[in-house]
Amino acid sequence: MKRNRFMYTLLAVGAIGAFFGHGMWAIDGKESFVKLFTGSFDHVLGVTIATDTATTWVKGIGWFDIAVSAVIALMLVGNIRAKGRLYAFAYSPVALGIFVWAALWGFATAAARVTAVGELMPELWDVVERAPNFMLPAALVYLIRQHRLDHTRSAATAEPITAAAQPTQ
């Protein structure tokens, strides 16, 4: 159990770093993020978006990423404390949903390197380089799911210690 909590901690710190760091760049209106946004809309949907509009969207997304990193930080605190409501939250269906969303969003933003220019190569390597942005939350989905399955199985199949310790005749 401690091993899983340790892995949760490592993965969550990485996810917090990815979402907080990208969020901070985005709220500053980082030009390359705006180009990814406008380029993806142009190449994927055939819609041209004004730079000012794209900048506003990127800043809003940045604030949302920072909020996600704060929620992950709360779940991390619960995991480290290993008790109480934050601990329950860290392994809850809501936590699963947050990490599923984070993995999908991390993949979408990595894939934007391809969609923004409309070419697979060499931009595919930018997606590969950003794999931790979606694989860290994906690993947390797996870890939480396993934790939930283990606790469901043990609660459903557990026998009292005294009954298990008695010899059969």
3-state SS class at 83: coil
CA–CA separation, 39 and 94 (whole Å): 33
* Tens-binned pLDDT, residue by residue, of the chain (169 aa): 678 899 999 999 999 999 999 999 999 999 999 999 999 999 989 999 999 999 999 999 999 999 999 999 999 999 999 999 999 999 999 999 999 999 999 999 999 988 888 778 887 888 899 899 999 999 999 999 999 998 876 555 555 444 444 444 4
Q: What is the DSSP string of 95-125?
A: HHHHHHHHHHHHHHHHHHHHHTTT--TTTHH
